[in-house]
Amino acid sequence: MVKQIEKLPDHVCIIMDGNGRWALSRGLERNVGHRQGVEAVRAATEYAAEKGIPYLSLFAFSEENWGRPKSETDAIMSVIVNAIHNETPKMMKNNIRCVFIGDREQLDNKALKRMDDCMRQTAGNTGMTLIVAVNYSGKWDILQAVKRLLEENPPAEQLLSPEVFSSYLSTAGVPEPDLMIRTSGEMRISNFMLWQMAYTELYFTPVLWPDFRKPDFEAALNAYSNRKRRFGKIEESI
Ligand code: IPE
Ligand code: IPE
Ligand code: MG
């Protein structure tokens, strides 16, 4: 019998790390690891949707990743662009709404078109929301929110409200992540959703992203379900 996980998160975000090491440890080129990572994206998305998790966010490419050799950034971008194209029919079938977040400035027209087509096609789906962060960084997100706030010039007291500020972030309307999973053993946030992760439960696993499958996701959910979230309060007042 399948054991029920007691407390499910509403929003899981994943820093998908370890593609390069996965490939190198097999004597393969790093880019093979990026291609292999798509399999893990498929498994994680399917699992989250099956479990009834309302929001899943995946960190696919960071602003800092442009610092890698062009041959690698080109390869990662083409993996992303192809995956969007190939996975959209499955998202339609599974009633998944897909949203892309990140700075669009440095992305080429082909990538932007694929992202926009996918968002448009899946916009009416009412199941899980899949948020894919491409050319994203947490500091960028906060700065773009501040810029838009300044442009719109709302009354000063509104600027002081975390709720109003959140509504200018690229994740407006999305609950803050309850659980962050990072694969590959690195224990850092690497400029992901900085504001949004203020009270997120962090889970680190040594599993490299291309190997991450449903049992690994389940282990993370089980760990989450045993966490005591206090939000600064004490047990009795929660
Ligand atoms: C994560 O895997 C994918 C991206 C950052 C785009 P890495 O490419 O960072 O893999 P490692 O960390 O070098 O093993
Ligand atoms: C974080 O992984 C970014 C993504 C998973 C897209 P990195 O491999 O780029 O992070 P660092 O450099 O180890 O912090
Ligand atoms: Mg890495």
CA atoms of 175 and 157, how far apart (whole Å): 23
The pTM score is 0.96
CATH number for the domain spanning 56: value is 3.40.1180.10
Answer whether residue 121 is part of any domain. yes
Q: Is residue 3 part of a domain?
A: no
CA dihedral 220→217→192→187, nearest 10 degrees, is 50
Q: Per residue in 154-213, pLDDT tens?
A: 776 666 689 989 999 999 999 999 999 999 999 999 999 999 999 999 999 999 999 999
Residues, CB within 5 angstroms of ligand 3 (ion) = 17
Whether 116 is in a domain gets the answer yes
In a domain, 179, yes or no: yes
Q: Is 164 among the domain residues?
A: yes
Pocket test for ligand 2, best of 17, 57, 72, 136 (most atoms within 8 A of CB): 17
Residue 216, SS3 per DSSP = helix
| Helical segments of 52-194, H only | 70-93, 109-122, 138-152, 156-159, 162-166
The pick from 15, 16, 19, 68 for probing ligand 1's pocket by mutation, whose C-beta has the most ligand atoms within 8 angstroms, reads 19
| Residue 4 within any structural domain of the chain | no
Range of the domain at 209: 11-224
pLDDT tens digits along 125-146 = 999 999 999 999 999 999 999 9
Residue 160: the pLDDT is 65
pLDDT tens digits, 51-99: 999 999 999 999 999 999 999 999 999 999 999 999 999 999 999 999 9
Report if residue 231 sits inside a domain. Answer: no
- pLDDT for 1-57, tens place per residue? 455 777 999 999 999 999 999 999 999 999 999 999 999 999 999 999 999 999 999
- Looking at residue 150, what is its pLDDT? 87
**Residue 233 is assigned to a structural domain of this protein:** no
Q: What is the pLDDT of residues 199-215, one digit of tens each?
A: 999 999 999 999 999 99
Domains identified in the chain, total number: 1
